[in-house]
Amino acid sequence: MYILKYLSISVAVILGFWTFSVMAHSGVENKAVMARMMAMKEIAASMKYIGKFRRGTEQFNIQELKENLEIIRYNASVTPQLFEIYAVDPLSEAATEIWETFDDFKNRAKVLESTAEKLVNSVENKEQLNEALKSLGSTCKSCHSKYRN
Ligand code: HEC
């Protein structure tokens, strides 16, 4: 399974982003809010990197592509836990509707997780990236439009 093979590398990458994100969010006091923002930032950073492969500003590399898809899959998989506790912060963009319809919120995270997982196991070349990014991007929008202010 690809996932196990890339997991250790992904953990190292995630820790790297973690340090970076802590610095970027020093204004956020609430730990739970900070953690969920970081997960989102990691997802966004991986999306950006995959976008570079698509545009050709980064040399296409299948292993790095799968690592980034795995980072997205992993962070989507922990999104329900990260948002489970009701937590607010002046800098948070989370809508209170999350905790009113939490099952629906969880389902939207699950769609991102399964989309990323499918792609980890199916994407093989650069030509597939347009579709891949579109399918991932629509899951972000589906959740943000309802749950991010
Ligand atoms: C299940 C819902 C959900 C999905 C799916 C989702 N997000 Fe988010 N995202 C949120 C919520 C809620 C916030 C606001 C969190 C907060 O500010 O407390 C957020 C915030 C963000 C932020 C801002 C983080 C920060 O530093 O404050 C970025 C960037 C982001 N999301 C990117 C993405 C991208 C890219 C995708 C898709 C690949 C995605 N998100 C998918 C719910 C989701």
CB–CB of 82/35 below 8 Å?
yes
What's residue 103's pLDDT?
Answer: 98
Distance 24 CA to ligand 1 centre (A): 15
Beta bridge partners of 2: none
Report which residue type is found at 59: Q
Choosing from 23, 31, 40 the residue with most ligand 1 atoms within 8 A of its CB, the one to mutate for a pocket test is 40
CA–CA distance, 121 with 124 (Å, rounded to integer):
9
What's residue 27's pLDDT?
Answer: 86
For residue 87, give the 3-state DSSP assignment: coil
What's residue 11's pLDDT?
Answer: 55
CA–CA distance, 17 with 20 (Å, rounded to integer):
5
CB atoms within 10 A of CB 44: 14
What's residue 119's pLDDT?
Answer: 98
CB–CB of 3/114 below 8 Å?
no
Task: Per-residue pLDDT tens, the chain, 149 aa: give them.
Answer: 555 555 555 555 555 555 555 555 668 989 999 999 999 999 999 999 999 999 999 999 999 999 999 999 999 999 999 999 999 999 999 999 999 999 999 999 999 999 999 999 999 999 999 999 999 999 999 999 999 99
Distance 79 CA to ligand 1 centre (A): 9
Question: How many angstroms separate the most distant Cα atoms in the chain?
Answer: 44
**C-alpha pair distances (Å), 144 with each of 54, 66, 97, 98, 149:** 24, 24, 11, 11, 8
Domains of the chain: residue spans and CATH: 2-147 (1.20.120.10)
Choosing from 140, 142, 146, 147 the residue with most ligand 1 atoms within 8 A of its CB, the one to mutate for a pocket test is 140
Distance 25 CA to ligand 1 centre (A): 14
pLDDT in tens, 85-108: 999 999 999 999 999 999 999 999
Q: Which residue has the tokens 């439009």?
A: 145
